[in-house]
Amino acid sequence: MLALPAAAHAQPTTAPLPAWDRLTPAQREQLVAPLRERWNANPQQRARMLERARRWQQLDRDERVRADRGRDRLERMSPAERAQARAVFERMRALPDAERRALRAKLRAMTPEQRARWLRDEAARAPVR
């Protein structure tokens, strides 16, 4: 068997993509089309979409990174895990700020197994919508 040089196995490098102003009209359209479709398909959600965009623009870089990570984590969950997470989120959102901060500190101090058990128990207590 012949051995190929290391360069033959290397991933092709691509040039970094340009800033928005340097994108071609076709590239811009490719980026905007999914949003346009969602906007047109959901007139009842338009106000919510605009509000989310407004809030996103107000986030600093670290907050955006945390939001992206949370969204990615939610997307990797099973439907049951997502329902569980939503139930816990709704319960936490209803807590006064001081209690919410205390609960976050308590959750951070737990092991992953303890946290998973706590989440299961809390989700089971949440009212069904």
Q: What is the pTM of this model?
A: 0.56
Cα angle, residue 58 at apex, residues 96 and 82 outer, rounded to 5°: 55
Every domain of the chain and the residues it spans:
44-76, 79-129
Give me the phi and psi of 38, to 5 degrees please.
-65, -40
**Residue 11 region, left (φ>0) first, then alpha (ψ -120 to 50), else beta?**
beta
Give me the tens of pLDDT residue by residue for the chain, a chain 129 residues long. 444 444 444 555 688 999 999 999 999 999 999 999 999 999 999 999 999 999 999 999 999 999 999 999 999 999 988 888 888 888 888 999 999 999 989 988 999 899 888 888 877 776 554
